[in-house]
Chains A and B, each alone.
Chain A
Amino acid sequence: MNESNKLTIKDLINIGVFTALYFVVFFVVSFVGYVPILMVLLPFICPIVAGIPYMLFLTRVRKFGMVLIMALILGLLELVMGRPWPVVLIAIAAGLCAELILKAGQYKSVKSCVLSSGVFSLWMIGMALPLFFGYRDSYLAGLVSGYGQAYVDTLASLTPDWAFFALIALCFVGGIIGGLVGSAVLKKHFKKAGMA
């Protein structure tokens, strides 16, 4: 590995490729959300699966900034998908914390990788944001016309305000599980092939 801390073109390309992979996995899994109950659990289910490509990405990360840029791009993508703007800030914050945890582990320790996977998945909280706080009423009203009253009623009854904090916890736990699954997959498939 290069000693310098500046990001090389190889790192930037790795970020791009793995962000694409991460986003595709995330996007496919998030289609589960069309079932109302599962939509609430989405911040729990998504990180479990998305943790696998994330852990693979971490095997390529040795410099400060790579996880942060990934989080920024994911945040921007979510913004384009029509979520409220704080998603970008949440994503940047989550990315920065995940980055710092990794740095504390010298980018090598598996434990800090798993922990950072948990923290990194908190960027997905932005997805659930419209359901809570100031956005709630207008968001639900908008959903009624698009998704139907039955869907919205189920959704509303499942999400009192405290659920937001429960979701943060769920998301974190999901990320940790995802990290563990990811490192298991890496051990099973990639170590053997000399790719991790």
Chain B
Amino acid sequence: MQAQVDTFRITGERSILDPRVGMLAILTVSAVMIGGSITGIDFWLRLVCCVLPLLGLVALRRWRFAVVYAALYAFALMMEGAVFQLTSGAFNMVVMILGGLISRFFAPVVMGYCVMQSTTVAEFIAAMERMHVPSAVTIPLSVMFRFFPTIAEENGAITEAMRMRQVSGMRRGLVKRMEYELVPVMMSTVRISDELSQAALTKGLGGDTRRTHICEVGFRARDYVLLVLLSAVLVLFVVT
């Protein structure tokens, strides 16, 4: 599986949404999807939250991803809504795990993917600066989000190397297996973090002067529309 798991967009023009609205969107979608029940008003809220990431994917022109996403959600909602009531016992458990995993975690992840894909690191930091978040928090945060796909990539490479030398699988027990997997990942983490700090230093981060940027950050009409929608969903979710 050669999934493209970039987080922040690398270059390009201004993002579709203001990063602050994007973050509110992630927060709302994950609160509703992970914490919400699937009956009553929550059902409609969840429906709204399922559709938002889909819109994001369409806006980013990830057509295939959008189709897969829609299909998976139709499947998961059907599992939760219909199949679930008709089954019992072990099969019920399987349905619960499958449907629950997809419907609860997939939407927040995709929402996060959309926001990250449409936001550059510079825009993210600029928006955080507007909110007066200190750099002691913004820098680790942006490094962290940038680093998730790196870990996935490193891990993939390690798994592949293990398979090549035929040490994969559970043959030597879970603990050994975890050691073989985790230690190399930690090794490369240490190395990459050193390289990253050197790269950041050459780019002039860490100086005492205020850094300037050329990206425009600010709310536009669509940001306000989404903001109102998200706040409504969040309020309804918390109140009911």
Contacts and interface: CB of A to CB of B under 8 A. Distances in A.
B197 A9 contact: yes
Nearest to B39: A145
Contact of B37 (A23, A82, A146, A151): A146
B201 interface: yes
Given A56-B186, A189-B183, A81 B140 contact: no
B137 A9 contact: no
A69 B137 contact: yes
Contacts of A193: 187
A82 B30 contact: yes
Contact of A13 (B97, B101, B139): B139
B205 A9 contact: yes
A8 B206 contact: yes
A25 interface: yes
Interface in A141-163: 141-148, 150-151
Contacts of A82: 30-35
Interface in A64-89: 65, 69-70, 72-73, 79-83
B189 A80 contact: no
Interface of B: 26-27, 30-39, 80, 84, 92-93, 96-97, 100-101, 104, 108, 135-137, 139-148, 151, 178-179, 182-183, 185-187, 189-190, 192-193, 196-197, 200-201, 205-206
15 contacts: A10-B206, A12-B136, A12-B143, A13-B196, A14-B193, A15-B140, A16-B140, A19-B140, A20-B147, A25-B182, A52-B182, A80-B30, A143-B37, A146-B37, A151-B93
